[in-house]
Amino acid sequence: MSCGSEDLQEFVENKKYAAYLSSTALSNFITAISSWLEDKILEEMRRSPVYALMGDESTDVATKEEFAICGRYIRPGSGEVVEAFLKILQPKRCDAVTLTRKIEEFIDSKGLERPKMKSMGFDGAPVMSGRHTGVQKRLRCTVSPHANYVNCRAHSFNLACFQAAQKVAVVKKAYSLLGQIRKLFYYSPKKANQLQEIQSALNHPTLKIVKPSSTRWLSHERAILVVRKNIVPLVATMEHLYTNDNDVEAYGINRHMKTYDFIATVFMLSDVHPQLAILNNGLQSKKMDISQASAAVFYISIYIRTNNRAKLLHTCIYMYSAQFTHEPQQL
């Protein structure tokens, strides 16, 4: 057993009485460490001239509502801007009134001065961002009237990308097909094994099909990359499934996969996604100045438009479309 510390390792191996390795003892240790860290962070926040709160709601595996709160403050002495996780609240409901009350109770119970809260960051859901009855509006009325509300830029960026993709028919269809491909192999170990065997036979990397997230548009990047690298094994596997097992679903997916539109869209998106991911990560950076966001968007858009990989990309699209379709379109 490795403890991660030489002193702790020596204590465990040479214990004379109690080793404190029971689940109860370890839970007590974790609770004590958690309390110590929380007290230290909150003490710094109380001494900071200003602070900001960030929060997001979710549902855990037990279907219980949770609301995570993080703080951003200036560390006394060094002037360093610090972001720290503070607490997971468990409201009975995630409506604006309940969440506002929970945040107020948290601020007061931890000894944080209400007027010092100068900013708050939440997602763009109406419950949080509503101008008249949202959480941000209510906190302005009850906690700090001069607190600025900042909608999560990365979240807004994801939504913008998702809405833009839905406006382009071939892109929307390509994402739908990605989900169907993943479903075909995820729910059938037999089909997944056949795909791996064909990948190995064709000397392709053995990559699992990734599920594209419906709420995080940029999570499609890896799903697209896996499909791009495995177009040949995927087509071969689906043809095998239809020929030998009369798998109608595989036949339908295979027909759409071999179209020029799907191949071109996959290659195009696999080239664009990494650049959008750079922008997305930049918007989430601790050092990102909000005034730099528009400039970052501008430079990424210029890079995508002038990318010298375009000629190579078109060549690859033509090569695959010529291989899979009877009448490939000229570029």
CB neighbours of residue 276 within 10 Å: 19
For residue range 144-186, list pLDDT tens digits in order: 999 999 887 667 777 777 788 888 898 889 888 988 999 999 8
Domain 46-151 fold is: Nucleotidyltransferase; domain 5 (3.30.420)
Contacts of 298 (CB under 8 A, 6+ apart): none
Instruction: Say which range, 100-109, 205-214, 222-231, has the weakest mean pLDDT.
Output: 205-214
- 272 or 215, which is more confident? 272
67 strand-pairing partners: 57, 89
pLDDT at 246 over 80: yes
Instruction: Say which range, 99-103, 110-114, 226-230, has the weakest mean pLDDT.
Output: 226-230
pLDDT at 329 (0 to 100): 44
pLDDT at 162 (0 to 100): 78
- 251 or 304, which is more confident? 251
| CA atoms 190, 199, 314, 165: torsion sign | positive
pLDDT at 181 (0 to 100): 92
pLDDT at 94 (0 to 100): 86
Q: What is the mean pLDDT of residues 174-203?
A: 90
Instruction: Say which range, 4-18, 58-72, 119-133, has the weakest mean pLDDT.
Output: 4-18
For residue range 4-56, list pLDDT tens digits in order: 567 667 766 666 666 677 788 888 888 888 889 999 999 999 999 999 999 98
Q: How does strand 51-59 pair with strand 148-151?
A: unpaired
Residue 120 phi/psi, 5° resolution? -145, 145
Q: Per-domain residue ranges for the chain?
A: 46-151, 156-324
pLDDT at 11 (0 to 100): 67
Percent over 70 (pLDDT), the chain? 82
Structure token digits, residue 74: 């200036």
Structure token digits, residue 261: 């539109």
Q: Is 70 helix (H, G, I), strand (E, B) or coil?
A: strand
Rounded-to-integer distance, Cα 302 and Cα 245, Å: 48
pLDDT at 331 (0 to 100): 36
Cα Rg of the chain, angstroms: 26
Rounded-to-integer distance, Cα 48 and Cα 252, Å: 61
pLDDT at 113 (0 to 100): 95
Structure token digits, residue 15: 């214990």
For residue range 276-330, list pLDDT tens digits in order: 777 777 777 767 676 777 777 777 777 777 765 555 555 555 555 555 554 444 4
pLDDT at 269 (0 to 100): 86
Q: Which amino acid is at 214?
A: S
pLDDT at 53 (0 to 100): 95
Rounded-to-integer distance, Cα 185 and Cα 194, Å: 9
Q: What is the mean pLDDT of the chain?
A: 82
Rounded-to-integer distance, Cα 7 and Cα 272, Å: 50
Assess contact for 182 and 219: CB atoms under 8 A.
no
Rounded-to-integer distance, Cα 278 and Cα 300, Å: 9
Q: How does strand 117-122 pair with strand 65-74?
A: unpaired
Rounded-to-integer distance, Cα 231 and Cα 53, Å: 46
Residue 4 phi/psi, 5° resolution? 80, 5
Percent over 90 (pLDDT), the chain? 33
pLDDT at 112 (0 to 100): 95
